[in-house]
Amino acid sequence: MDKSLVIKPLITEKATMLGVMNKYVFLVKDGASASEIKKIVAAEYKVKIDRVQCINTKPKKRRKGNSFGTIPGYRKAIVSLKKGEKMEILPQ
């Protein structure tokens, strides 16, 4: 079990809205599978996980003036906790 597969929690407006539904979003490495993510997050945060969904975000093309570039793609995991479980990912 490689703890470096889960990079960090994603804290965006959409991710905080999912927190109300007991779902949390993590940025993960490309090779990470849902079962590996489930084991790592359960061990790290000491919670019981119901479901893990993985999403690949494609790279996007951006233009600034005459030059073109790309924003790299990434993989994120939405982790659903079982009823009654809470996870504290924001520093107080």
- The 10s digit of each residue's pLDDT in 20-59 is 899 999 999 998 999 999 999 999 999 999 999 999 999 9
Task: Note whether residue 86 is domain-resident.
Answer: no
Task: Note whether residue 39 is domain-resident.
Answer: yes
Task: Note whether residue 89 is domain-resident.
Answer: no
Task: Note whether residue 23 is domain-resident.
Answer: yes
pLDDT of residue 52: 96
pLDDT of residue 3: 75
Q: Is 36 left (phi over 0), alpha (psi -120 to 50) or beta?
A: alpha
Quickly count: other Cβ atoms within 10 Å of residue 49's Cβ.
Answer: 19
What pTM was computed for the model? Answer: 0.85
pLDDT of residue 54: 96
What is the number of domains present in the chain?
A: 1
Full residue range of the structural domain in which residue 16 is found: 3-81
Task: Note whether residue 73 is domain-resident.
Answer: yes
pLDDT of residue 91: 62
